Amino acid sequence: MRILSNGLLRGKKMNEGYLQILNSISSSNPTPGGGSVAALTLAHGHSLSVMVSRLTVNSDKWIDGHTVANNIISQSEKNISSCITLANNDSSAFEGVMAAYRLPKDEEGSNIRSIAIRKATIEAAEAPLETMKFSLKFMHTLSDLAKECNANALTDLASAAELGISACRMAEFNVRINIDHLSGDDIDSLQTASQNLLTECNQVMSEITQLYTNRLGW
């Protein structure tokens, strides 16, 4: 799919592409699941931030916000594409877990299957962790945009922030469930990293909320 400058998909009405994605998610297959949906949620947040940015640069009234808005616009295709990649990576990682569980059970003295399951499960946790990292980066960008963007689009920016923090929280669920029954220093590192990312995302969300509520007089 090619993203055009006006944000629409060439040759596609909104419902056509959406239905394909929603049908895939709602199928009986375990993938794409929550981790992929987290990344897709983040893609929606990026798209809304681009809309807010375009509305900001379209008027000299909001010239103080032009620099950050133009930067968001210039990175839009790359960022949205990265979210799609994160969604696909999450599905692939979980499919790796299922493949490991289908291996023949370990015989006495062999732990090939156990090692494969552990490796695949860690990779399945690392995939949503990347989504969390990307969510945090997005939230920081939104915080900058919230200070000087077009005031008429502040509720759209607020919606983008809600999508960003939701993506981070959803991804954290998927990190946690994958490492829930594992132990070791590598697992502790994953757990600490995800907790720190979630904490920082929540902090930035609070900053963004204060910025847009102050500007709106709420």
Per-residue pLDDT of the chain (218 residues), as tens digits, is 334 344 444 445 556 778 889 999 999 999 999 999 999 999 999 999 999 999 999 999 999 999 999 999 999 999 999 999 999 999 999 999 999 999 999 888 789 999 999 999 999 999 999 999 999 999 999 999 999 999 999 999 999 999 999 999 999 999 999 999 899 999 999 999 999 999 999 999 999 999 999 999 99
pTM for this predicted structure: 0.91
Structure tokens at 99: 């493949």
Contact 194, 170 (CB under 8 A): no
Q: Write out pLDDT tens, residues 84-121.
A: 999 999 999 999 999 999 999 988 878 999 999 999 99
Which class for 189: exposed (0-12), middle (13-18), buried (19 or more C-beta within 10 A)?
Answer: exposed
| pLDDT value of residue 107 | 84
Query: Per-domain residue ranges for the chain?
Result: 32-216
The distance from CA 99 to its chain's CA centroid, rounded to whole angstroms, is 25
Contact 33, 93 (CB under 8 A): no
Instruction: Please give the angle made by the CA atoms of 21, 23 and 26, to the nearest 5 degrees.
Output: 110
The distance from CA 108 to its chain's CA centroid, rounded to whole angstroms, is 42
d(CA 218, CA 212) in angstroms, rounded, equals: 8
| pLDDT value of residue 110 | 83
Average pLDDT, the chain: 92
136 residue type, one letter: L
Q: How far are the Cα atoms of 47, 89, 126, 179, 180 from residue 189, in angstroms, in the given order?
A: 32, 21, 11, 11, 13
CATH of domain 32-216: 1.20.120.680
Contact 77, 3 (CB under 8 A): yes
| pLDDT value of residue 13 | 59
Residue labelled with tokens 């979980």: 94
| pLDDT value of residue 108 | 80
